[in-house]
Every structure is written in C-alpha cells, then in structure tokens.
Structure 1
C-alpha cells in the first residue's frame, strides 16, 4: 500500500467521508479536517504529501488557508470549487494552488488530478541542470533549492509547482524559442496531452507575477508561429 498521505479539508462531512473512503480504496493514507484548526493539527513537517482544500468554508476560507500554507510550504494543493466560484479559482491558482476540481465532481477525476500532481516532482525531466542554486534575472532571483521567487526588494512571490517548473525551464533555456510542444514535454513529460493548452494559461499567470506590464510582456515574449522565448540572459 502506498504511504502517500492525502489531507482532505472540507466543511461538508459527506464530501470528507466520500473522499476518505474512495482515496483509501485506491491505496492512499487519508486524513480528514473540517477546517483550518483541524488542518493545522494534522500538518506535521513531512507528514502530508498533498492537500485537497475546499474554497468555500465558514470562518477561514480555503483561500485564507492556502495563503497560510504558501508562506512556509510548497506542499501540493488541489482546490475544490463550485462552478460559480471561477474568480476564486483563478485567484487560488495565482496564489500557488497546483490544480482545481469543480463541484459537483467525480472522485475518479479528482484521483487522476492527484496522481498527476504527485508525479510532477518525482519525474525526471530534460530540464537543464542549473549551475547554481540561485538563478537571477533583471531584478529577480529564483531559489532552486527552496523553490522561492524573490523580487529585488526582498518580496517573495508565491509560485505553484507548475509555475515554478515552467519558470525554471525558461531560465534553463534563456533567449531560445521554445514551442508549446517543447514546453509541454519539458514541464509535464509523459503526462503531456495532445492539444493541451495549459501552457498558455500558466504563461499568462507567470507573466502577471514577473512582468511590469503583463499585457505588454518583455521577459516572456510570444513568438508568433514559434512559441515563446525568455528574452533575458541570466545574471551572475
């Protein structure tokens, strides 16, 4: 049986019980929490591998808890969101969530998303190995070991696992045109699907975090008919 530990945080007991039973049947160790207090009591260092986090909860919302998690941890997080909460879902992705599933949902779909997110950091990728633990470019510094992006004034910018991997790919291939297919292969490997447009969405979110004007990007340029290019050379 897998030792992978999933923490489900949702204020609805029927959803907690359903996911607890379903994920356990598929070999996961599962813990359940009805909100922030129970979540914190079960989050010990290295004890949880992924959090399934509902957005709409009384008191502390899922976005509040996600923000708290991202201040000290890059633990994978999948948000549960109602169809009417699209804006909150986008905000959750910008704050560092790795993926989301819309309610009502099939547990089978959530299971597939969980497996995909958990595979990402474990897969070997053809990303070039950086010569330093710190990659610097035009007033920014990416800490490869801590997986943190900081601005020149010391402000830390939250990155999801997907955004971190994408930025690392660009910094490993500066001033090179990379097609969508190349970016998919470099970031997702064998999980990449034909006609996957997620790269465009991730680039849009990444631009909002690192570009001074996301509508007129200068760092990540669109190369019409070619793909994308990170325009800056790395700084020593």
Structure 2
C-alpha cells in the first residue's frame, strides 16, 4: 500500500480524499497545518505528498519550496485555485503536478498512480553531498556557504537554482541532458513535457549576465541538453 501525506486544512475534504484513496491501495495521513508538515514528512516518510495551497501556518507554495530541499518523491498540488500563475509557480518550485479539487476522483487516482509509477521506475538519486569551491574566470561558487560571485558581485540564487548552477559548473565543458539534470536535482525522470528546467536555465542566464537571445555562457545544445562554457566568465 502506498503511503501518502495529505496537507489539507478542511477536515471534511481531507476525510473524503482519504476514504477514496484508501479504496485504491493508498494509505493517507492528513496534516492540517502547513508549518507542521515538514515534521510530519520526517515522521511518516510518505512516498507522495498532496498539498493544498491555502493552509494555516505556511502556504502550500512556500511549503513546496522547502520540501524540495530534502524530499525527492512526487509533490502534487491539490487545490481549488484555478490559476495559471499559481500552476506555473508551483511547477517552478518543484511540484510534479497541479490538480484541481473539482477533478473527478477516478482521474485524481489515475494521475497519482502515474506519479507513483514514475517513482517506482527509477532509483531516486538524491543530490550528491558536495562541498568545495569552483572558480571559472570571475565566476566563483562556494558550495559550503552557498555563495555565488560574478566579477566580485554577489549573485542571489534560490536553493534549486544554486544546485543547478553547481551541477553545470562542476561539469563545465560537458553537455548535461535534461534527463540527467532531472534525475540529479529532482530525483525523477524527465517526462518530455516539464519545462521547469528551461525556466530555471533562463533565470540563471539573466542573473549571470548571459545574453538571453544568443547565450554564450550557458548554451542550449539542441536535442542534447545544456552546456556551461568554462572560458566565457572573464
């Protein structure tokens, strides 16, 4: 039986979802506060997390971002907020899917099963424990302090963007495929549709002074992946 943590503050909805999923080989543990969910993940060790967005203590989007620092299973947003902006933001923050509460129960089960099958089909690869300092010209990256400097100026990056930059920089001169980056950074396979890695690459280019139209520092190699060019950081 699959173990799922549902973070939902409305008891009636939480009970309905729990009862329905229990009929489909899914054991659901419910937490009604966002700020207590991190501890529940440590205690319950779920395979998949279902998150509402509107939660007391901590909203679901902020919680998704924090969970992605240590949880490598599927995170699925289950919400009544039918908003393209929230959906894009959730996917950028590391959610695997975004499902409306009005979705028919059978469709909800089917989509959760897709995520669980993908989880079972690969051995999750946690981001390697790394340390040290990289310097490529005027680009300096310190893994221990999470500090990035370009031409002596500090560059503020989110945790996920820092990990992406570290992967690219530590393999400078090599093409890293989307499949490789998804496995290393998200602990899952690339589904051929998710564009969150492209969005993150775009953010890195902007923050690192690369040309968005004709990038020279972080290149997209068509049908292959991304390449950080070592000698373009003078």
Normalising TM by the smaller chain, what interval? Answer: 0.5 to 0.7
2:98 corresponds in structure 1 to 101
Residue 141 of structure 1 deviates from its aligned partner by 4.1
Q: Does residue 202 of structure 2 align to residue 207 of structure 1? A: yes
Q: Tell me the TM-score normalized by structure 1.
A: 0.62
Alpha-carbon shift at residue 231 of structure 1 (Å): 1.7
CA distance in 2, matches of 1:225, 1:67: 29
Shift of 1:67: 4.8
Query: Which 5+ residue runs of structure 2 have no aligned equivalent?
Result: none
Conservation of the 8 A alpha-carbon contact between 1:81 and 1:100: no
Alpha-carbon distance between aligned partners in 1 of 2:146 and 2:19, rounded to the nearest angstrom: 37
Query: Relative to structure 1, is the Cα distance of residues 38 and 20 closer, same or farther in structure 2, using a 3 angstrom cutoff?
Result: farther
Kept in 2: contact 1:20–1:30 (CA 8 A): yes
Give the 5 Å matches for 1:1-236. 1=1, 5-36=3-34, 39=37, 42-44=40-42, 47-57=45-55, 60-67=58-65, 69=67, 73-74=70-71, 76=73, 77-82=75-80, 84-94=82-92, 96-103=93-100, 104-105=102-103, 106-107=107-108, 108-116=110-118, 118-119=119-120, 122-123=123-124, 133-134=131-132, 136=134, 138-142=139-143, 150-152=147-149, 157-159=158-160, 170-171=168-169, 173-177=171-175, 182-184=177-179, 187=182, 191-193=189-191, 196-198=192-194, 200-209=195-204, 211-213=207-209, 216=212, 217-223=215-221, 227-232=225-230
CA distance in 2, matches of 1:58, 1:190: 29
Q: Which of the two has higher C-alpha Rg?
A: 2
**TM-score (normalised: structure 2):** 0.63
- Flag structure 1 segments of 5+ consecutive residues without an equivalent: none
Aligned residue pairs total 212
30-39 vs 133-142, which deviates more?
Answer: 133-142
**RMSD between aligned alpha carbons?**
4.4
| CA distance in structure 1 between the partners assigned to 2:33 and 2:20 by the alignment | 20
